[in-house]
Structure 1
């Protein structure tokens, strides 16, 4: 059984001001197996984040179904952890309390929360920064805190919405490598939204290439490339050219301008 199954999903938003409907997604069908790392790749406005929000339970499809391990998704759940574009940390709490905040909500004792949070702080490479506050950390480090917080909930699925989009190039590359290491250690299923071709091909076991709005799945590409991935290798660039070919037919649509270029 697929961990995530998206069947015949469409999403139509009502525009009351203009008295018109906007179709964001149209007949999406995707299966994501356990321990896969699926990247949703496409131009801005193609519905990537909307699709991710449906898996998270924040949005409901206009038609079709989304299931996780056979259970219909109708609301957020602890089996699905979410990492947003911004880490959304609580600035008044140190790293370890941000990471362990879910345990605080469940009434966990301080010593237990601290011990549990430490395991995930170590996992994301923040050992030594347990008592630092978000304002004392870099953007990349704050995103690691957000990832650790999601992992602590021990979710079956981690959903990530362009979490490295605001980082500089070098920090983004470092975070990509760190995320792959964490994913391999955690053995979870990840769905990752991006509009960066190199990022998708660096991270994913599979890439779902989407069209401009209304979002359609152009192709789901399995990536059988060794890790760590060499973005200069002939194999990498052969796949990149294929992705670009899929997207070039969308070039007349303005939202494609946000995509990587060769």
Structure 2
């Protein structure tokens, strides 16, 4: 059974001010297999984050359906963990307390919470920073806390909405490498939103290339490149040129449509 099935998913927003409907996603069909690392790639405004939020259950489909592990998505659930663009850490809690916060809500004893959190602190490379507060962390370290918090939920699917977008180039590359190592160790299914072609090629086992709005699935590209990926390799850059050419064709099409 597939981890995620998206069947004829349509999302329409109502523009109350202009008294019209806005078609954000148009008949998206996509299957994500278990243990896939799928990157949703496309230009700004193409509906990548909207699709991710629909998988998460934060937004509903206007028509069609989305299934996770064979069950229709009707709202958020423990089978899906979310990592946002900003880690949204609670500033009054330490690293380990932020990571284990949902265990506290479930009434788990402090010692057990601390022990469970340590497993994921070690996994994401934050050993030694357990008792630091968010204002004492770098951007990359805060991102690690967000990833560890999602992993501790032990979800079947982890959804990531451009979690490295605000990081500097070197930290971003380091975090990409860390994330691949964590995913290989964790053996879960990841759906990762990005508008960076290079990031998608560094991370993904597959890339779903989205069209300009209304968002449609333009192409699903499987990647058989070994990890860690070498961005100077010919095979890597062949795929990069292919995707960039597709983006340019989409942009030209959108401009012509707007002019007409």
TM-score by length of 2: 0.97
Query: Could you list the runs of 5+ residues in structure 2 that have no partner in the other structure?
Result: 256-260
Paired with 1:35 and 1:251, the residues of 2 have a C-alpha distance of 32
Matched residue, 2:34: 34
Q: Is the 8 A contact 1:83 1:158 kept in 2?
A: yes
Q: Cα RMSD over matched residues?
A: 1.1
| Residue in 1 that maps onto 2:94 | 94
Give the structure 2 partner of residue 232 of structure 1: 232
Give the C-alpha shift of residue 244 in structure 1.
Answer: 1.1
Asked if the contact 1:212/1:253 (under 8 Å) is kept, the reply is no
SS in 2 for 1:92: coil
SS in 2 for 1:40: strand
Aligned length: 255
Q: Could you say which residue in structure 2 is the equivalent of 1:138?
A: 138
Alignment correspondent of 1:70: 70
Structure 1 gaps, min length 5: 256-262
Displacement, 1:254? 8.4
Q: In the aligned structure 1, how far is the partner of 2:94 from the partner of 2:105?
A: 16
Aligned to 2:248: 248
The one-character-per-residue Cα deviations of 1:94-153 (angstroms, maximum 9, x if unpaired) are 000000001000001000000000000000000000000000000110010000000000
Distance in structure 2 (CA, Å) of the matches to 1:142 and 1:250: 35
| Residue 110 of structure 2 is aligned to residue 113 of structure 1 | no
In structure 2, what is the equivalent of residue 258 of structure 1? none
Which residue pairs with 1:260 in the alignment? Answer: none
User: Do 2:124 and 2:148's aligned partners in 1 also have CA atoms closer than 8 Å?
Assistant: yes
Deviation string 1:18-54 (CA, Å, 9 cap, x unpaired) is 0011000001000000000000000000000000000
In 2: Cα distance, 1:245 partner to 1:224 partner? 20
Partner of 1:154: 154
Cα-to-partner distance string for 1:63-101 (whole Å, 9 max, x where unaligned): 100000110001000010000000000000000000000
Contact 2:10 2:26 in 1 (8 A): yes
Q: Post-superposition shift, 1:205?
A: 0.2
Runs of 4 or more, structure 1, over 6 Å off, are none
For residues 254 and 155 of structure 2, the distance between their equivalents in structure 1, rounded to whole angstroms, comes to 37
Distance 2:2 2:185 in 1: 21
Which residue in the other structure is 2:10 paired with? 10
SS in 2 for 1:250: helix
Identify the residue that residue 84 of structure 1 maps to in structure 2: 84
Change (3 A) 1:188 1:76: same
Deviation at 1:253, TM superposition (A): 7.5
